[in-house]
Structure 1
Amino acid sequence: MASMFSKWKHLTFPLLMLSTALLFLFTNYLFFTINYTRHLQDEFQNMTTYLNSLRDPEWFDVVSGEIMRDQKIKIGQTNMDRIRGELHTRARKNMTAYLRSTRNPKWFEVVAREFKDETINIGLVNIDEEIMDGLHANAKMVKVHFNPVGEDIRWSDLAPERIDENSKCPNIPMPIFKDYEQLDVVVARVPQSKCEDGGSRNVLRLQVNLVVANLLVRSARKNNRAVFAVFVESCDPMWEIFRCDDLLWNTGNSWVYKPELTRINQILLMPIGPCQFLPPFSHHGEEAWTKLRHIARQTNHHLQQPREAYITILHTSEDYVCGAIVLAQSIIQSNSTKDLILLADDNISPESIVGLRAAGWKTKRIRRIRSPYSRKHSYNEWNYSKLRIWQLKQLYDKLIFIDADLLVNRNLDEFFAYPQLTAAGNYQKHLFNSGLMLVEPSQCTFDVLIKKMRVVESYNGGDQGFLNEMFAWWHRLPAQLNYLKVFVDPNDHLHWINKEVYAVHYTGLKPWKCFKQLDCNWDVERFHRYASSSAHRMWWRVYRAMPEKLRPYCSQGGGHGSKNSANFSTAKGHPVVSIKGT
């Protein structure tokens, strides 16, 4: 036995130390468990007290007991159960609100990352301060006061069918902005009831978005740091103002934007809608035009080559190859300094691509996009291919799209100062014509357009109707920047187009399918409304001035070179006609 004891004697001390450590751990565990249990009991007691406060009011228990005991007023058991049920339902709702109030809303967590421990100044637009009761942070809030727009101002007042240089937009009330120039975040709400049945053309929605944009620009000037726009429990923000590229976070009906303020500033220099021409074409915008050009010069000063270009597209057939060649030459002859980009699908032959490049276009192959609401084999069956222009963000910040049946008569370069979406009105209705428009490329904008094109219907089955629904708020150029060669006045027999126009849109039979001497729209009575000898001469003047090597691309397929007959391309939606020479 002694020998056995001596054998394990050297383990005595380690075993003693192990026992001491185990005892220490057990004691600490016991101590922690007792204290945590007491903490849970305290929490439970507090919660029980809170829940008891949400039960039936004491006066109700006393009074109802007395009434029932004395049988002076009889209350049925069913009614009592209903009353108590309503009280407990209300209690559950209050409990939910209480629990939610213990943490900041997600949108605030997104914004707060930018400010760390700094005090955040928050402006509330069309929103009650109560909605911010759950905010537990170093923040100061101020309600932005302004008069909501009256019901006497309708969207049709902001987008009338016809205007002139004296037209002026109606007044939409704004806050006194100098009272709110130190904001970091602007939180706004447009009730979702305003989104129903054409919410994209809601005047209150426009007013709230413009108030937010103005507050951000003015606050950024004072603070010289990033500012944020937040929309909570709201209609969709106007993507014409708050673009998807600037979106930081979105869940359900809440959004957080960190907008690019130079662009927002350009938008705010525009009239509040297509109820007024853009400067300098309006009698009410000389100062705004000066500021716009100054912003454009400052932006381009930091770039070796401004990211701006003219762009057109050819798809499905080669009917417009000649038109695109003359269009390029007209832009070059106007002394433009911008790039020329042409998108072409596989239906445009390699031989034609050679000619288009020789004319000045940089070409890019694309896959065409079918118009979901067009008829099969109609003129606009593949017109949604135009949406591809928004995919050029890596190359350009601004593009002026021009249809291949237009001619540029005067330099348009200075109008790149405008923001998206800028266009001239169509000759009818309150819509814009998509044949010439300024856009800002953006992959996410393209993605949204592709997603929406099957659910947003086009009034004419083509891109123009669709884009007018997607960009309901646009900036209006006068007709002289996209002069539609359509004459609807029965007393106008000359159909004269002033040489001062910037661009002519050759609706009807195209000039490259006619004889040089005559606009062949005169030869068919139903096309008389598209005929103009002055416009016809304008196109052929550019044709004669372009290099000889380009002209064969306009004579292929029996064009102007045939003396006895000509095959005429058609106006959009009109049948092909063949007319004998005169």
Structure 2
Amino acid sequence: MASKPFFSKKKPNFPLFLLLLCLTLTLLIHTTTYNLQPDEPPITSTTLRLATIEPPPWYGKLQYMLKIRSAKLKIGLVNVEADHAQVNGLADVTKINFEKVGGDKKWEDFFPEWVDENGKWGPMKCPEIPMPESYEKVDVVVAQVPNGVRDVFRLQVNLVVANVLVNSGWENGDDREMYVVFIGKSGPMWEIFRCDDIIWEEGDYKIYKPDLRRLQQKVNMPVGSCMIHSPSLQSGRLMSSTYKSREAYVTVLHSSETYVCGAIALAQSILQTNSTKDLILLADDSISPKSIRGLKAAGWKIKLIERIRSPHAKKGAYNEYNYSKLRIWQLTEYDKVIFIDADLIVLKKLDKFFSYPQLSAVGNDKYLFNSGLILIEPSQCMFNGLMEKISTLRSYNGGDQGFLNEAFTWWHRFHSKLNHLKIFHNTNDTRHEIMDGLYTIHYLGLKPWLCYKDYDCNWDKLDHRRYASDSAHKKWWKVYEKMNSKLRPFCGLTKQMDARIRKWRRIAKSSGFKDEHWKIKVKDRRQTLHMRL
């Protein structure tokens, strides 16, 4: 009988085989996943956002403007967080640090009503507005200016930006191109950053290419009207420049010929100081051809204008068309002009004061300035901006002075001798002598050409006696006496003017005014040589 084979046939154990196979594959997959790029962090939603972020729109514009520069762009941030300047490492970005001005500082601290102009109690001082302790060289400044009117922190941010630009712009004894990006709807203070310097604007972004020569003038000025600028106190390096500023004196006549004589006397007084500047007079169509000829003969170059009405003035008011003064910003053939009202005369040469920047003036009440004599920098875009504001900016007096004080809240103080207001608060003083050393006299009240030459007729009106001064009156008539005889008829008296003066004299006599100006025997020949109108 045959024997059985050594290996007998058995049914295979498939479940055990499958289990072993699954364990092996699991181990292999786990090992491969664990070792995949072990040194890189896991990809998150934040990583994806940063990887796809694009630089802000202003950066591409700057890259185009600065493409000739080989070095990496340096950007300084002022009052801006770094996430507003994400440029993906394409530029070196640094934050410019400065101490924020104290919250206890108010606008009135920097623009007081009164300052010790002559240093009787020591040198004039302004409160401090902190600036950066050091200035790192940058190519571009990116800044966000806070909103507000007469806000000290807003002023501080503007001045920090200006100082950074001026300090970075100095290179090898000259200035180089600098740019600043302002973020936000409010934009910078136009008293510091001129609208002429805007080169690109989109949404809430504006790029300026500032004129560093002009900007340096401003950062060298006191922070407010709390001090009067002195060239001897000028700090910082001066940029070399062969540029010669174009400058002129300007006045405006509109609505009537009442001030034609005053404008003739003003021109003659400026020329008598040996000024070398141009004399420009803006006149509307109320000035007759005969008066235009007289004004030209007095020294004025005439430019015809359309007058501008104040939307806040009452109809027929004295200041109804005083906004015509805004036309002086259209004199763009000049870099600077000093506007002077036609009821002033100049006693001492003013040419050196063209070194001041816009807007410079003599102080008035509170933190305001007097607009009878102001230095401005003509600009068509600034004129356009002023015209856009005439309906929205309120004027405290309905005229140009109130409006301009709202349009230019940051201004520079001239010494009061540059616009000496003829007003005296002691009405019991029957002399009212003016002080020595004045540059101008601003004739408030009745004007000299509306009085007899013999004395100031403001003495004859009770409500005008505070404006009366025979010494100031004589100064004006001294200018008149030096005029060419052909100009004097423009300052004559009409019969109506003469009758009005005689009426005031009778009232003064009946009132028994103790100064007794009404007793003075009148010798003014104009009372018998009446003008014909």
Q: Could you tell me which amino acid in structure 2 is paired with residue 245 of structure 1? A: D
Verify: 1:544 aligned to 2:504, yes or no: no
Q: C-alpha displacement at 1:562, in angstroms?
A: 8.0
Residue in 2 aligned with 1:126?
79
Residue in 2 aligned with 1:464?
401
Q: C-alpha displacement at 1:235, in angstroms?
A: 3.2
Residue in 2 aligned with 1:314?
253
TM-score with structure 2 length normalisation?
A: 0.81
Residue in 2 aligned with 1:216?
165
TM-score with structure 1 length normalisation?
A: 0.74
Q: Could you tell me which amino acid in structure 1 is paired with residue 200 of structure 2? A: W
Q: 1:255 to 1:563 in 2, by over 3 A?
A: closer
Choose which of 79, 97, 106 in structure 2 pairs with 1:145. Answer: 97
CA distance in 2, matches of 1:558, 1:439: 40
Residue in 2 aligned with 1:398?
336
Q: Decide whether the 8 Å contact of 1:424 with 1:478 is kept in 2.
A: yes
Q: C-alpha displacement at 1:492, in angstroms?
A: 5.0
Residue in 1 aligned with 2:188?
237
Give the alignment of 1:136-535 within 5 angstroms: 136=88, 138-165=90-117, 166-178=123-135, 180=136, 182-191=137-146, 195=147, 199-222=148-171, 224-233=175-184, 235-279=186-230, 286-288=232-234, 302-303=243-244, 306-393=245-332, 395-426=333-364, 428-489=365-426, 492-535=429-472
- CA deviation digits over 1:263-282, x for unaligned, max 9? 00111111001111122xxx
Q: Decide whether the 8 Å contact of 2:346 with 2:440 is kept in 1.
A: yes
Q: Could you tell me which amino acid in structure 2 is paired with residue 189 of structure 1? A: Q
Q: Could you tell me which amino acid in structure 2 is paired with residue 287 of structure 1? A: L
Q: C-alpha displacement at 1:446, in angstroms?
A: 0.2
Q: Decide whether the 8 Å contact of 2:268 with 2:483 is kept in 1.
A: yes
CA distance in 2, matches of 1:389, 1:328: 17
Q: 1:560 to 1:517 in 2, by over 3 A?
A: farther
How many residues get paired? 458
CA distance in 1, matches of 2:501, 2:348: 35
CA distance in 2, matches of 1:225, 1:342: 37
Gaps of 5+ in 2: 1-42, 118-122, 506-516, 521-533
Gaps of 5+ in 1: 1-51, 55-90, 280-284, 569-578
Q: C-alpha displacement at 1:512, in angstroms?
A: 0.5
CA distance in 2, matches of 1:312, 1:323: 10
CA distance in 1, matches of 2:356, 2:113: 22
- CA deviation digits over 1:560-580, x for unaligned, max 9? 888984899xxxxxxxxxx99
CA distance in 1, matches of 2:496, 2:209: 54
Q: Could you tell me which amino acid in structure 2 is paired with residue 185 of structure 1? A: V
Q: Could you tell me which amino acid in structure 2 is paired with residue 232 of structure 1? A: I
CA distance in 2, matches of 1:535, 1:504: 7
Q: C-alpha displacement at 1:350, in angstroms?
A: 0.2
Q: 1:130 to 1:477 in 2, by over 3 A?
A: same
CA distance in 2, matches of 1:543, 1:561: 19
Q: C-alpha displacement at 1:429, in angstroms?
A: 2.2
- CA deviation digits over 1:247-295, x for unaligned, max 9? 112233322110000000111111001111122xxxxx62329x99x87
Q: C-alpha displacement at 1:245, in angstroms?
A: 0.2
Q: 1:137 to 1:205 in 2, by over 3 A?
A: same
Q: C-alpha displacement at 1:478, in angstroms?
A: 1.5
- CA deviation digits over 1:505-561, x for unaligned, max 9? 111000000011110100001101111111101100000011111001111534888
CA distance in 2, matches of 1:302, 1:250: 29
SS in 2 for 1:201: coil
- CA deviation digits over 1:103-155, x for unaligned, max 9? 2211112222222154111111112223223x136310111111000101111
Q: What percentage of residue pairs aligned between the two structures are identical?
A: 52
- CA deviation digits over 1:460-519, x for unaligned, max 9? 000000000000000001110000112224565532212310011111000000011110
